[in-house]
Amino acid sequence: MKNYELLEHTADIKIRVTANDLKDLFKNSAAAIFDIIAERRNPDPAPQKTIPIKQAADTREELFINWLNELISLSAAGEIIFSDFKITKLDEHNLEAEVIAEGAKNYRMNTEIKAATYHDLKLAEVNGGWQAEVILDV
């Protein structure tokens, strides 16, 4: 079951992501982006590499956007797709994670996402869990 839904937006892509806790919100948001970007061509496992990610920011919202944009940037520059996300540390200002990357040639590209934006960004605790709404520039 997907932890996100596509919302109506005039020019870009807007998603709403849900999770039980903040770590899962960051993880589910990243997974949603790469689910939108690409679809695996072959169900067989492909060679993978683990990439460490560290981010720091002044606010939780800035940290969230920095995290997503770092993944989008690394994916485009390295011609890789991220398939799994393990957040090892997350607080108001810092994030540390290990992400699993596979070569983009193992995927069919669906949508090019240029960046996650601050426009209409929402991060909130909702009904005992967390929810994010973010617009993705395509």
Domains of the chain as residue ranges with CATH: 4-137 (3.55.10.10)
User: Whole-angstrom Cα distance, residue 48 to residue 80?
Assistant: 10
CB atoms within 10 A of CB 38: 21
Residue range 99-121: mean pLDDT, rounded: 94
Q: How confident is the model at residue 10 (pLDDT cuts 50, 70, 90)?
A: low
Q: Which of 33, 30, 24 is nearest to 6 (CA)?
A: 33
Residue 14 has pLDDT above 80, yes or no: yes
The percent of residues above 70 in pLDDT, for the chain, comes to: 97
Q: Is the pLDDT of residue 111 over 90?
A: yes
Q: How far is the CA of 73 from the CAs of 76, 112, 131, in angstroms?
A: 5, 11, 24
Whole-model pTM?
Answer: 0.91
- Which whole number is the average pLDDT over 10-25? 92
Question: Taking residues 1-30, what's their average pLDDT?
Answer: 87
Rg over CA atoms, the chain: 14
The values of phi and psi at residue 136, to 5°, are -105, 125
CB 34 within 8 Å of CB 82 = yes
Sequence-ordered list of residues with C-beta below 8 angstroms from that of 16, at least 6 positions apart, any chain: 4, 5, 7, 131, 132, 133
